[in-house]
Amino acid sequence: MIANCDAGCNKLFDVDEFQSKRIGDGVEKVYFVCPHCQHEYVAFYTDVEIRDLQARIRRVQKRFANPRADMVKAAAREVEISAQIKEKMDALRARIEGGQS
């Protein structure tokens, strides 16, 4: 993935890897860093509940490799869990970054 360091040096760079850091209360910050100026960009935050949902969606996605699985049901479940993850990630980001300007 190519990113533009729009909050730092304004240079383009490849995002080769994401890093993660525990920031307390079971919350983990997943981010990447501009290699030119070291500006940090947060991709998302997770907590125990979100990580559990991510594990669930991985299990659902494994069903797609099984030709006998109900693909319609699996796809519907995948959409449902994805929506839950997005909602919870958005709420967690707002809670964590809400006090920052």
d(CA 98, CA 17): 26
In sequence order, what are the beta bridge partners of 41?
Answer: 32
Q: Spell out the alpha helix ranges (H) of 1-101.
A: 48-62, 71-97
Domain ranges of the chain: 1-44, 47-101
- Categorize the per-residue pLDDT at 100 as very low, low, confident or very high, splitting at 50, 70 and 90: low
Name the amino acid, one letter, at 73.
K
Q: Is the entire prediction scored with pTM above 0.95?
A: no
Rounded mean pLDDT of the chain? 94
pLDDT of 101 higher than 60: no
